[in-house]
A and B are shown apart, each in its own frame.
Chain A
């Protein structure tokens, strides 16, 4: 956790450079916050066409196993939203035409290939309407809005030119010092 705290501090300072004092205070008050938006609701799943099955994607790297178009992919352990891999972007890049949110929620996911715990940044991609493909949502650990850092119902397209939500990435931004349990 020490590594995570250090990382959080660095991120918070990064945010501080670009925002007002007041929003920084709110940010710090909220903790390292901010789920990558979206309706973790079965209703959203129901809206997906039954023929939406798609060929499997791979990272091409044995050390990064799994299908980035599938909700089961290891990096998505705490994601909420449309997967950018299905939207013209990749697991770590936004689709062309969008803007990546600078404010994100960060989770820790274990890579089954190397057993390391990675810090994953769930940046939202903003400025283009809902991607509508590959909705992935999990609510383990989700808490009411009263605790923003663990609520996935906020739209985290904040600090961007536009608050319109398109999709979410899951980028590796570091490794946690703690070994996985």
Chain B
């Protein structure tokens, strides 16, 4: 019986006679035009995001995945190279993506070149580059705030780490490097004022620099005791609401810093994400704490979304979270809790009319929730990146 069953199965796989098929389809499929490369719309739909793939298995070949979060069957629209601990910026008004990257002449050896590559958003083709001097670009796991715009987006700032710390000022319009600002003891770049930036420093202060029209430091000042690195360390990546950067600590305290002026101004009244009901983020069992890589996001209304884990303990802060807590930083109250389908590592909220909460998970899966209700909408599966770690909403 077994051999008969097998024969039948094989028989079923054999194509039927050609004549039967051609009777059913009298006209052949048309010939297709080659070569043929897909083209993107000049203005990306607001459901599209860039997901940074650090690609641990080959870090020198990192990439950005352009993802349509509303497409369950074809979410991956294309890839942009993001080599060797790269960072990215997007300027939709100019139709350009910028990647700060590092290369070696013989892939892993040879002459080192650091460069900003300029990519066309419509074709994803490179259209220029700006060489960064001295091979000192900071290489680390993807932190968005080591590559930032200033001066209305006309300039970019690149963090360096040799381990001496400094910032390279780049004129994106003129495609040239303007200068370098020493930044001993401070790290990360938070654009502040019209033309300048602020950084967090190892003594807990925030240091602000203004730049002159040549890209040189014009003035600087420091505000002490902005964070207690031992007891309430802040995740380095904030969520932006206008020019206010909202940081969250390892224990769930939310601290705003006003970056609208030339000197960063910490906002009074840090508050806990648990404010509003009894679930504690900084005590009790289980201990809810923020966890993941990109743990805080904002929406167009100014609400904050914080990725939370119930397994919070020392050393858990990068392990990911299973809920997103929605917080109103004006009322200093938590509005809702969103249960995720897995262990999220990075979150972002689109700027669509009906905004979506995008969750990149530790297993590589990308899930989409309705940001307003928290309801799970769709999964994109593990289909866009090996190691999705940062989500950029252009």
Which residues of A are interface residues toward B (Cβ below 8 A)? 22-23, 25-27, 29-30, 33-34, 38-47, 103, 127-130, 132, 135, 138-148, 153-155, 157-158, 161-165
Contacts and interface: CB of A to CB of B under 8 A. Distances in A.
A144 B236 contact: yes
Contact of A47 (B107, B138, B200, B387): B387
B163 A153 contact: no
Nearest to A46: B363
Contacts of B200: 144, 146
Interface stretch (B171-179, B185-193, B324-332): B185-193
Chain B contact patch, size range? 35 or more
A146 B314 contact: no
Contacts of B164: 22-23, 25-27
Contact of A33 (B163, B235, B386): B163
A63 B304 CA distance: 52
B334 interface: no
A29 B185 contact: yes
Contacts of B102: 163
Contacts of B227: 146
Contacts of B202: 29-30, 146-148
Closest 4 CB pairs between A and B?
Answer: A26-B164, A140-B315, A155-B139, A42-B362
B168 to A, nearest CB: 15
A129 B84 CA distance: 10
B201 interface: yes
Interface in B157-210: 161-165, 184-188, 200-202
B143 interface: yes
Q: Is the interface of B mostly helix, strand, loop or mixed?
A: loop
A138 B315 CA distance: 7
A130 B57 contact: yes
Interface of B: 54, 56-60, 84-85, 102, 104, 107-109, 112, 138-141, 143, 161-165, 184-188, 200-202, 227, 229, 233-236, 293, 314-320, 343, 345, 362-364, 386-389
19 contacts: A30-B185, A39-B54, A41-B318, A42-B319, A43-B364, A43-B387, A132-B57, A139-B319, A142-B318, A144-B229, A144-B235, A145-B188, A146-B227, A146-B229, A155-B85, A157-B139, A162-B108, A162-B109, A164-B109
Contact of B362 (A22, A34, A46, A138): A46
Given A30-B202, A145-B140, 9 more contacts: A38-B56, A39-B56, A39-B141, A127-B108, A139-B318, A144-B234, A153-B141, A154-B140, A154-B163
A123 to B, nearest CB: 15
A145 B236 contact: yes
A35 to B, nearest CB: 10
B389 A41 contact: yes
A19 to B, nearest CB: 9
Contacts of A44: 56, 387
Contact of A153 (B60, B140, B314): B140
A27 B107 CA distance: 28
Contacts of A141: 314-315
A130 B59 contact: yes
Contacts of A29: 184-185, 202
Contacts of B188: 145-146
Task: Determine which residue in A40, A144, A154 has the highest number of CB atoms from chain B within 10 A of its CB, and name it.
Answer: A144
Contacts of B162: 23, 26, 158
B163 A34 contact: yes
B317 A139 contact: yes
Contacts of A22: 164
B84 A163 contact: yes
A142 B141 CA distance: 14
A85 to B, nearest CB: 18
A120 B377 CA distance: 48
A136 to B, nearest CB: 13
